[in-house]
Amino acid sequence: MLKGKSIVLGVTGGVSAYKAVHIASQLTQASAQVDVIMTEAATRFVAPLTFQAVTGRPVATEMFGLGSNCGIQHIVLAEAADVIVIAPATANTIARLAAGIADDLLCCTVLAAKSPVILAPAMDANMYENPVTQDNLSKLQARDFITVGPASGRLASGKEGPGRLAETSDILAAISQALGRESDLAAKHLVVTAGGTQEPIDPVRCITNRSSGKMGYALAEAARDRGARVTLITAPTSLPRPARMQIVDVCTAHEMHTAIRDAISQCDALIMAAAVADYRPTRAAKDKIKKEAAELTLELERTPDILGSIKGAFVKVGFAAESSNLLENASRKLHEKGLSLIIANDITARDSGFGSDYNRVTIVDQEGKTDSLPLLPKRQVADRILDRVAKLLG
Ligand code: PMT
């Protein structure tokens, strides 16, 4: 979403201004064109040269800077911007934006902009919780300004509370989401499942599988970045939690079934990348099973077939994790479960599938047409699947 995009990064005079260097670096590495505007106060915390070194582009610090190109700088920057992000956004800048003041380059540029504007507030907790700051933020949010954070935790003053600059990953997610706000999944609600369910044997042990959740999380993030409202229903994983989506944590197949039923009332598409247990222990022991007997036999029973039982006027996409007869088994599941598409993946391949950052899938539709993709990063696989979902959603 970021490649080739023009991002204006406004940096204001807060102690977390140094974190904006990382944001600028991440955006530049994602092949975005980053134009930094610094307020005078920001230059007291970080030298403009640092940003210029990271972005490879001149840094704007003055309204009437002599180095500015022939155009009126704030107009040029505003018209070129695909998105403006102000990180950190101090209470002072927030107040001036809310009042429409335009006596410095950053506020002028924002006032002249038609692109989305993202604010990442960062300040002392008392300043953030001050009613006037809250009023200013509410005014700006009512004018479609997007806010990210602040996070809560230890502040420069040594106190704890809200006021820390949001994590860079959350700010980058907000930028991607803003860039994708008019993409092909805009205004659609997608429910995505991820990870491997855990079926309890006793309070300590469970039956699970090797799903890492990467495929499902890639689908959720890709859908978010294409403008969708996303509900991610996830079994336990060790992945960072994706930003800017609703996340429902589940453990068992039964909990996942319940969570999906609750989530799909207004959904446009359900994509089940989760590895849901087909069997669970008939009885989960209340106490930890002692290793006394030489053998232990577990009695298992079937879990609900979630995809097969969920009905509704939404696109249903399933995955088929197969170790043989890939297309035959996948097609059978597509028809048995009444799916719109099924994504067949050979889980015996060492370079893809469970746990891998890559997947090699074949997309099968209801007419039996197949689209076999090469080995791709899971995010690219996700976008190819969402291309098909977007088409089905018309
Ligand atoms: O998570 P990763 O490490 O990234 O690995 C990705 C993956 C290999 C887990 C993923 O690509 C994948 O194949 N997910 C589906 C795994 C699975 O349960 O496949 P299956 O063939 O057993 O089930 C078929 C479909 O029915 C799946 O969409 C599954 O979510 C669903 N299902 C399964 C069991 C069940 N009781 N109810 C279901 O709805």
Instruction: Please give the mean pLDDT across all residues of the chain.
Output: 94
DSSP label at 191? E
Does residue 158 come out as left (phi exceeding 0), alpha (psi in the -120 to 50 range) or beta? Answer: left
Check residue 75 and give its pLDDT: 83
Give me ligand 1 centre to Cα 304, in Å: 13
Q: Could you report the per-residue pLDDT of 346-379, keeping only the tens digit for each?
A: 888 888 889 999 999 999 999 999 999 999 999 9
How far is it, in rounded angstroms, from Cα 293 to Cα 179? 60
Give me ligand 1 centre to Cα 7, in Å: 38
- Rounded to the nearest 10°, the torsion over CA 58, 12, 141, 231 is 80
Check residue 165 and give its pLDDT: 97
Task: Name the CATH architecture for the domain at 6-180.
Answer: 3-Layer(aba) Sandwich (3.40)
Domain extent listing, the chain: 6-180, 185-393
Confidence of residue 66 (pLDDT cuts 50, 70, 90): low
For ligand 1, whether the C-beta of 252 sits within 6 Å is no
Alpha helices in 168-301 (DSSP H): 168-179, 214-225, 253-263
Q: Could you report the per-residue pLDDT of 324-344, keeping only the tens digit for each?
A: 898 999 999 999 999 999 999
Kind and range of the H or E element at 94? helix 91-98
Check residue 67 and give its pLDDT: 56
Q: What's the predicted TM-score (pTM) here?
A: 0.89
Q: What's the token pair of residue 49? A: 């040269």
**Residue nearest (by alpha carbon) to ligand 1 atom 13:** 321
Task: Give yes or no: 359 in active site.
Answer: no
| Backbone phi and psi for residue 271, each to the nearest 5 degrees, phi listed first | -120, 115
For ligand 1, whether the C-beta of 278 sits within 6 Å is yes
For ligand 1, whether the C-beta of 321 sits within 6 Å is yes
How far is it, in rounded angstroms, from Cα 346 to Cα 352? 8
How far is it, in rounded angstroms, from Cα 107 to Cα 192? 39
Long-range contacts of 245-253 (CB under 8 A, 24+ apart): 245/220, 250/197, 251/197, 251/198, 251/200, 252/197, 252/198, 252/199, 252/200, 252/277, 252/280, 252/303, 253/197, 253/199, 253/277, 253/280, 253/303, 253/304, 253/306
For ligand 1, whether the C-beta of 347 sits within 6 Å is yes
Check residue 280 and give its pLDDT: 97
For ligand 1, whether the C-beta of 275 sits within 6 Å is yes
**Cis? peptide before 203, omega within 30° of 0:** no
Catalytic position from the list 136, 209, 345, 359: 209
Could you count the other beta carbons within 10 Å of the beta carbon of residue 330?
A: 24
Compute the C-alpha angle 261/226/164, nearest 5°. 90
Q: CB burial class (10 A; 0-12, 13-18, 19+) of residue 205? A: middle
User: Which CATH number does 185-393 carry?
Assistant: 3.40.50.10300
Kind and range of the H or E element at 80? helix 73-80
List, in sequence order, every residue forming a beta bridge with 345; answer none if it has no partner.
Answer: 321, 361
Give me ligand 1 centre to Cα 281, in Å: 19
State the angle between helix axes of 73-80 and 105-112 in degrees (0 to 180), rounded to the nearest 10. 50
Alpha helices in 275-377 (DSSP H): 306-309, 326-336
Check residue 349 and give its pLDDT: 85
Substitution candidate for ligand 1 out of 191, 211, 252, 356 with most atoms within 8 A of CB: 211
Among 58-67, 128-137, 150-159, 231-240, the minimum mean pLDDT is found in: 58-67
- State which ligand 1 atom lies nearest to the alpha carbon of 303: 36
Higher pLDDT, 29 or 181: 29
Give me ligand 1 centre to Cα 176, in Å: 28
- Write the CB contacts of 96 (distance below 8 Å, at least 6 apart in sequence): 103, 104, 107
Q: What's the token pair of residue 269? A: 């598409």
Question: Would 6-180 and 185-393 be classified into the same CATH topology?
Answer: yes
Substitution candidate for ligand 1 out of 198, 255, 272, 305 with most atoms within 8 A of CB: 272
Check residue 71 and give its pLDDT: 61
* SS3 label, residue 144: coil
For ligand 1, whether the C-beta of 352 sits within 6 Å is no
Q: Is a pLDDT exceeding 90 seen at residue 90?
A: yes
Check residue 87 and give its pLDDT: 98
Substitution candidate for ligand 1 out of 210, 237, 307 with most atoms within 8 A of CB: 307
For ligand 1, whether the C-beta of 203 sits within 6 Å is no
Rg of the chain over CA atoms, in angstroms? 25
How far CA 288 is from CA of 73, 200, 273, 285, 291, in Å, comes to: 69, 11, 31, 7, 9
Substitution candidate for ligand 1 out of 319, 354, 356 with most atoms within 8 A of CB: 319
Q: Is a pLDDT exceeding 80 seen at residue 98?
A: yes
Mean pLDDT for the stretch of residues 303-309: 94
**Residue nearest (by alpha carbon) to ligand 1 atom 38:** 306
Compute the C-alpha angle 218/8/66, nearest 5°. 160
